Amino acid sequence: MAVSRTPLIAGNWKMNLDHLQAVAFVQKLYWTLKDAAHDEESVEVAVFPPFTDIRTVQTLLDADKIPFGLGGQDLSTHDSGAYTGEVSGAFLSKLACGYVIIGHSERREYHAESDDVVAAKVQAALRHGLTPVICVGETAADLEEFGASAVPAGQLRAALAGVPADADIVVAYEPVWAIGSGQAATPDQAQDVCAKLRAVISETVGADTADRTRILYGGSVKAANIAGFMREPDVDGALVGGASLVVDEFAAIIRYQKHVGV
């Protein structure tokens, strides 16, 4: 029998909002949700600020008892040492991060992160008690050449090498052509690929892991289209970029259950 998975709405801020803007943003988001009497238990919220904001955001979440998850946007494959500019998963854990995004297409493209590097980062995250948010997705050229699911399924298979069955992971399906383009996948397209990704988890890690792992859709998610994705059985949330930087828009995405019939 399928387990129920708590939906996760995650905001990837990318390289936006300094630590002062981050404080104002998180406070406003929290109060907007409070004013709307949002049920904290029904949907998990997580934010992924730039590294330089994390300590400040952590302090705010802690002091004001704001129930948002926190995560980094990347981490090093190494735990410590002479790796100038890198950030260890150990440091993220110390800052009470629960999550870390791994293998975002912008890292794969601009920092030449291979499937092997992504797999090593997944292991680094697990070593430090962080839940990796493993991003996979096809480019427009991949879509034309191989269809929608072959490339993301291959990326996920590689990322899951050596992941034990009891690991907590999150997968984000983010078609590269949908990121920042205003052209989201359709709910049907997202469902089709997310179901295939769940099958990959089942084959490589195990059926129980596949059953409890949350698979998110990302790419031009907005308040106006979130409900369609969330109606799909294998889409358990969203990884939101641009719209996660606008308080009212992100709050409306988090509150999709209120407009699920729209």
Active site residues: 104, 174
Q: Which is nearer to ligand 13P, 204 or 218 (CB)?
A: 218
Rounded Cα gap, residues 7 and 227, in angstroms: 12
**Residue from 243, 247, 251, 253 that binds ligand 13P (CB under 6 A)?**
243
Query: Would you give the binding string for ligand 13P spanning residues 58-77, x where CB under 6 A is met?
Result: --------------------
Q: What is the largest CA-CA distance in the chain?
A: 53
Positions in 104-163 near ligand 13P (CB under 6 A): 104
Residue 135 or 204: the one with the smaller Cβ distance to ligand 13P is 135
219 binds ligand 13P (CB under 6 A): yes
Q: Which of 242, 247, 249, 254 binds ligand 13P (CB under 6 A)?
A: 242
Nearest 5°: phi and psi at 159? -70, -25
Contact 78, 124 (CB under 8 A): yes
Nearer to ligand 13P, 89 or 175 (CB): 175
Closest residue by beta carbon to ligand 13P: 241
Is residue 163 within 8 Å of residue 206, measured between CB atoms?
no
Task: Tell me which of 179, 193, 235, 247 binds ligand 13P, using CB under 6 A.
Answer: 179
Give CA–CA dist 57/221, Å, rounded: 24
Collapse the DSSP code of 242 into the 3-class scheme (helix H, G, I; strand E, B; otherwise coil) and give the result: helix
Nearest-10 Cα torsion for 14, 15, 21, 23: 50
User: Which among 125, 43, 134, 140 has a CA at the least distance from the CA of 92?
Assistant: 125
Determine, following the binding rule CB under 6 A, whether residue 12 of this chain makes contact with ligand 13P.
yes
Residue 143 CB contacts under 8 Å (≥ 6 apart), including other chains: 175, 177
Site for ligand 13P contains 237 (CB under 6 A): no
Residue reference for tokens 């293998």: 103
Q: Which is nearer to ligand 13P, 136 or 221 (CB)?
A: 221
Residues that bind ligand 13P (CB under 6 A): 12, 104, 174, 179-180, 218-221, 239-243
